[in-house]
Structures are given as structure tokens and as C-alpha cells.
Amino acid sequence: MNTMTPGNAPADASAGHVTITPSILYFGTPVVLLSTENENGSFNLAPMSSAWALGQVIVLGLGAEGQTAHNLLSRRDLVINLPAPAQWPAVEQLAPLTGRSPVPVHKRDTFRFEPDKFAAAGLRPEPSELVRPPRVAECPIQLEARAVRVQPDVSDGFLIVEAHVLKVHADPRIVLPHSQHIDPALWSPLIYNFRHYYGLGPELGRSFRSETPRQGR
């Protein structure tokens, strides 16, 4: 008999698969809050969940008509802020807001314009060191970055942003003592899983390339 546990494949996959047509493919990706600079010198803050890292480069997928995309086409500085799982309510406060005015036609039934998104989400900006947009003080990890390449995706409905990370700020409580490493036992990203918010579960194992082995292993 097949058994299924949350987050795991069936113990016996011989029954095969079914073909489905999901409306979205957010199969479990981290949430980030992007702070960018508006034309008038104020700052925008936007949640997004299409981000991944390769070395010191973060690749972002953005809606082409949003304020963040508009900003990054002409002002390349940004901060990639990583909230913790418990901060999902602040992220959700930002979700129906846009910094774009007038609101794009396709967003008007769902989104509303908000010029001060930090205040709307109950978050505090703090100055960055190398870029103009501020960091989100409450986020445990903050990446000051500069967008090096901004280009349309293959469907021409999104922008793909390749951002070079210039400086990493971390809450000292999640950093391994006397090291430059985040302790994976103390840090969990906020995960967006098919439009639901999750944190990570217990550790299952570690890669042979891990530089942060657990005590006693």
C-alpha cells in the first residue's frame, strides 16, 4: 500500500503520475522583500517569490509592469531582504499593494496604490552602506546589491534581473560563532509554496559540501 507523508514522495511510486494544469508553479521558493528607489527619491518595498542564488549573484523574476521593475530599469541599486517565517503577516500586508501610480490596468481589481509600503507593513527602514535603497531592519538577512543585467524573459511578460551582491548583513543570532556562515539550524527562510507560506522543517541531512556541520556529527 502506498503511504504519503507531507513533503515526501509516495513510498511506492509504481502507481505513476497524473497530468495536471496548475495555474501557478510556485513549488516552494523563498520570499524576499525588494527595496528599490523611486523616481522622486522615495523608496518602494515589494514582496516577490522568484529568487535564487548562484555564487554572489541573485537572479530575480519580476512582473514587467510593477514599480520594482520600473525602478530597476533606470536605478540599479536594490536590497534583497529575507524575512523569517514568523514575518509572513508583514509580507501579506504588502501583497495587495503597488507602488505604481496609476495602478496598471490589469492590477486595478486586485491591487491598490500605496506610497509608503514600509509603514503599511509595519516595517522599519534602516540605511544601507553601499546602495541608496534602505534595508528592512526586521529581516534577519539583508543583501545590498546592484542589478547588472535586466532583460525580458522568453514570454515577454516578466523581467529577469541578475543582481550582484555587494554586502551581506545578518542577525548575529543566526551566524555561527567565529565564522562567516549562517547557521542552518537557526535560520529558516520564509517559503512560498503554491501561494501558501511555510518555514523549513527539521533537518534531514547535509551535503558533503557543507561548511556548517552540526555539533556531534
Please report the pLDDT score of residue 12 as a whole number. Answer: 61
**Before 102, cis peptide (omega within 30)?**
yes
Bridge partners (DSSP) listed for residue 112:
97
Most confident of 10-14, 73-77, 110-114: 73-77
| Whole-structure pTM value | 0.88
The pLDDT of residue 155 is above 90 = no
Cell of 119: 509603514
Calpha distance 2→112 (Å, rounded): 46
Q: Which pLDDT band holds residue 65 (cuts at 50, 70, 90)?
A: confident
Greater model confidence, 112 or 107: 112
CB atoms within 10 A of CB 162: 15
Cell of 42: 522615495
Please report the pLDDT score of residue 184 as a whole number. Answer: 93
The predicted-structure confidence for 180-216, as pLDDT tens digits, reads as follows 999 999 999 999 999 999 999 887 787 767 777 665 4
- Strand segments, DSSP code E, in the chain are 27-30, 32-37, 43-48, 51-54, 57-63, 77-82, 97-98, 112-113, 125-126, 135-136, 141-152, 158-170, 191-193, 196-198
The pLDDT of residue 217 is above 60 = no
**pLDDT (mean) for 83-103:** 93
Please report the pLDDT score of residue 14 as a whole number. Answer: 63
Cell of 163: 543582481
Cell of 51: 529568487
The 3-state DSSP composition of the chain as helix, strand, coil percent (nearest 5) reads 15, 35, 55
Lowest-confidence pick of 3-7, 78-82, 154-158: 3-7
